[in-house]
Chains A and B, each alone.
Chain A
Amino acid sequence: MTAESPPLQELARLLPGRVETDAARRHCYAFDASHYSRRHPRAPLAVALPAAVEEVQALVRWAGRHRVALIPRGAGTGQASGAVPVGNAVVVDLSGMNAVRELNLADLQVVVEPGVIPEQLNQALAPEGFFFPPDPGSVKMCTIGGMVANNASGMRAVKYGTTKHYVLGLEVVLADGSVITTGGARSRVLKTVSGYDLTGLFTGSEGTLGIITAIRLRVVPLPAARGLVLATFSDLERAGRGVQAVFRAGLVPSALEIMDRSALRAVRAYRPELSVPETEAVLLVEMDGLPGAVEEALERAAAALREVADEVSFSQDPTECERLWGARRALRSASGRLAEGVGVVTAGEDIGVPISRVPEALGGIRRILRETGVLATVYGHVGDGNIHVALLADTRDEAEVSRAELAADRLHLLALELGGTTTAEHGVGISRAQYMEQEHGPALAVMRAIKRALDPGGIMNPGKMGL
Chain B
Amino acid sequence: MDGRLPAMALKCAACGQCRPVCPSFGASGGWEHESPRGRVLLSGDLLAGKVAWTPGAVETLSRCLLCNSCVAECPSGVPVDDIILEARAKRARDLGLPAGKRALGRVLARPGLLALLARTGAVLAGVAGGGGNRIRWPPLRRAGTGGRLVPTPARQALSAQAAPRGTPTFVFYRGCLIEHVTTEAGLALVGLARLAGEEPAFLPGEVCCGLPVLAWGDIAGFRRLAARNIKLFGVTDLPVVTACATCTATLRKYYVKYPPPGLEAEARELAGRVQDAVEFLAARELPAGRGRLGRYTYHQPCHHHKGIERKVDGSALLSRLGGVDYVPPSDPAACCGFGGSFSVDHYAESRALAQSRLENLLATGASGVATACPGCLVHLRDAIAQGGHDFEAVHVLELMWRALRSG
Please name all residues of chain A whose beta carbon is closer than 8 Å to the beta carbon of B46 when the two chains form the complex: 24
B10 close to chain A: CB less than 8 A? yes
Cross-interface CB contact of A76 among B16, B29, B51, cutoff 8 Å: B16
CB distance from B349 to the nearest CB of A (A): 14
CA A77 – CA B60 in complex, angstroms? 21
Q: Is the CB of A141 within 8 A of B38?
A: no
Binary contact readout B17-59 vs A (1 if CB under 8 angstroms, 0 otherwise): 1111000000001111101011101100110000111111100
CB distance from A260 to the nearest CB of B (A): 18
Cross-interface CB contact of A20 among B31, B35, B37, B45, cutoff 8 Å: B31
Q: Is the CB of B16 within 8 A of A117?
A: no
Given A24-B52, A27-B51, A343-B10: A333 in contact with B31 (beta carbons within 8 A): no
B130 close to chain A: CB less than 8 A? no
B11 close to chain A: CB less than 8 A? yes
CA A47 – CA B55 in complex, angstroms? 16
CA A142 – CA B53 in complex, angstroms? 29
Q: Is the CB of B32 within 8 A of A333?
A: no
The residue on B at minimum CB distance from A17 is B29
B147 close to chain A: CB less than 8 A? no
CA A25 – CA B45 in complex, angstroms? 12
Binds A, one of B69-77, B216-224, B285-293, B339-347: B69-77
8 A Cβ contacts from A338-375 to B: 341, 343-344, 346
CA A114 – CA B57 in complex, angstroms? 28
CB distance from A280 to the nearest CB of B (A): 23
Please name all residues of chain A whose beta carbon is closer than 8 Å to the beta carbon of B30 when the two chains form the complex: 49, 93, 95-96, 98, 115
CA A31 – CA B52 in complex, angstroms? 17
Q: Is the CB of A140 within 8 A of B17?
A: yes
Please name all residues of chain A whose beta carbon is closer than 8 Å to the beta carbon of B15 when the two chains form the complex: 33, 77, 137-138, 141, 330, 332-333
CA A344 – CA B60 in complex, angstroms? 26
B282 close to chain A: CB less than 8 A? no
CA A343 – CA B155 in complex, angstroms? 54
CA A229 – CA B159 in complex, angstroms? 60
A270 close to chain B: CB less than 8 A? yes
CA A76 – CA B33 in complex, angstroms? 12
Please name all residues of chain A whose beta carbon is closer than 8 Å to the beta carbon of B42 when the two chains form the complex: 24-25, 27-28
CB distance from A327 to the nearest CB of B (A): 8
CB distance from B390 to the nearest CB of A (A): 29
Q: Is the CB of B10 within 8 A of A395?
A: yes
Q: Is the CB of A23 within 8 A of B31?
A: no
Please name all residues of chain B whose beta carbon is closer than 8 Å to the beta carbon of A142 when the two chains form the complex: 16
Please name all residues of chain A whose beta carbon is closer than 8 Å to the beta carbon of B203 when the two chains form the complex: none
Q: Is the CB of B12 within 8 A of A343?
A: yes
8 A Cβ contacts from A395-440 to B: 395-396
The residue on A at minimum CB distance from B46 is A24
A204 close to chain B: CB less than 8 A? no
A285 close to chain B: CB less than 8 A? no
8 A Cβ contacts from A10-42 to B: 18, 20, 22-25, 27-29, 31-33, 37-38, 41
Q: Is the CB of A141 within 8 A of B19?
A: yes
CB distance from B391 to the nearest CB of A (A): 26
Q: Is the CB of B13 within 8 A of A333?
A: yes
B7 close to chain A: CB less than 8 A? yes
Total interface residues in chain B, CB < 8 Å? 38
A334 close to chain B: CB less than 8 A? yes
A337 close to chain B: CB less than 8 A? yes
B316 close to chain A: CB less than 8 A? no
Given A22-B57, A23-B56, A49-B29: A337 in contact with B77 (beta carbons within 8 A): yes
A336 close to chain B: CB less than 8 A? yes
A217 close to chain B: CB less than 8 A? no
CA A38 – CA B20 in complex, angstroms? 22
Q: Is the CB of B20 within 8 A of A24?
A: no
CA A25 – CA B55 in complex, angstroms? 10
A75 close to chain B: CB less than 8 A? yes
Cross-interface CB contact of A24 among B10, B56, B74, cutoff 8 Å: B56
Given A23-B56, A28-B38: A336 in contact with B29 (beta carbons within 8 A): no
Q: Is the CB of A141 within 8 A of B17?
A: yes
Q: Is the CB of A341 within 8 A of B75?
A: no
CB distance from B145 to the nearest CB of A (A): 22
CA A77 – CA B12 in complex, angstroms? 12
Q: Is the CB of A138 within 8 A of B16?
A: yes
CA A95 – CA B8 in complex, angstroms? 27
B116 close to chain A: CB less than 8 A? no
Q: Is the CB of B14 within 8 A of A96?
A: no
CA A77 – CA B37 in complex, angstroms? 11
CB distance from B400 to the nearest CB of A (A): 30
Given A23-B52, A141-B17, A270-B75: A28 in contact with B32 (beta carbons within 8 A): yes
8 A Cβ contacts from A92-140 to B: 93, 95-96, 98, 115, 117, 120, 137-138, 140
B328 close to chain A: CB less than 8 A? no
Given A33-B15, A75-B19, A141-B20: A25 in contact with B6 (beta carbons within 8 A): no
Cross-interface CB contact of A343 among B13, B31, B37, cutoff 8 Å: B13
Please name all residues of chain B whose beta carbon is closer than 8 Å to the beta carbon of A23 when the two chains form the complex: 51-52, 54, 56
CA A361 – CA B193 in complex, angstroms? 65
CA A256 – CA B32 in complex, angstroms? 34
Binary contact readout B329-340 vs A (1 if CB under 8 angstroms, 0 otherwise): 000000000000
Please name all residues of chain A whose beta carbon is closer than 8 Å to the beta carbon of B76 when the two chains form the complex: 333-334, 336-337, 343-344
Q: Is the CB of A341 within 8 A of B7?
A: yes
Given A76-B16, A396-B6: A20 in contact with B11 (beta carbons within 8 A): no
Given A93-B31, A96-B30, A346-B13: A28 in contact with B41 (beta carbons within 8 A): yes
The residue on B at minimum CB distance from A43 is B51
Q: Is the CB of B16 within 8 A of A141?
A: yes
Q: Is the CB of A333 within 8 A of B57?
A: no
CB distance from A91 to the nearest CB of B (A): 9
CB distance from A139 to the nearest CB of B (A): 10
User: 5 new A-B pairs (CB below 8 Å) besides A24-B42, A28-B42?
Assistant: A20-B31, A24-B54, A76-B32, A142-B16, A396-B6
**Interface set of B (CB-CB < 8 Å, partner A):** 6-7, 10-20, 29-33, 35, 37-39, 41-42, 45-46, 51-57, 60, 74-77
**Interface set of A (CB-CB < 8 Å, partner B):** 18, 20, 22-25, 27-29, 31-33, 37-38, 41, 47, 49, 75-77, 93, 95-96, 98, 115, 117, 120, 137-138, 140-142, 270, 330-337, 341, 343-344, 346, 394-396
Q: 8 tightest A-B contacts by CB?
A: A22-B56, A24-B57, A330-B75, A28-B38, A333-B75, A95-B30, A333-B13, A96-B30
